[in-house]
Amino acid sequence: MGKRVGKTVNNFLLARANGGISMVIVGVKILPKKEVLDVQGRAIAETLKRRKHLIEECQYGKFIKLKINTANKEEALNKAREMAESVLCNSLVESYELEILS
């Protein structure tokens, strides 16, 4: 683990010395799967309807913004996908979408 951290720090310092660090910002939108009962979404929808807002449906989810140290957008998407599948999203009950923000 120490070697990875050291390598990351060295890459960071090298990029900094070469004129800056390139970053790609990726958005990760996580929502409950259609098959899963979205209790929070239903509660929000019912509250909005009681307050006379005309809505059909509401889904409650999460949005995570990742700043990834790379200049390559495809590499950033691949890294974000790996993060989403391994840590950010519970694939049994949630689905995710990725979006390049900048």
The answer to whether 100 and 24 are in contact (CB under 8 A) is yes
Q: Which of 21, 40, 24, 23 is nearest to 32 (CA)?
A: 40
Which residue ranges make up each domain of the chain?
22-100
The answer as to CATH 3.30.70.890 being correct for domain 22-100 is: no
Sign of CA pseudo-dihedral 39, 43, 48, 49: positive
Coil, helix or strand for 24?
strand
What are the pLDDT tens digits along the chain (102 aa)?
A: 444 444 444 555 555 555 567 899 999 999 999 999 999 999 999 999 999 999 999 999 999 999 999 989 999 999 999 999 999 999 999 999 999 999
pTM value is 0.74
* DSSP H stretches of helix in 2-85: 2-17, 39-50, 73-83
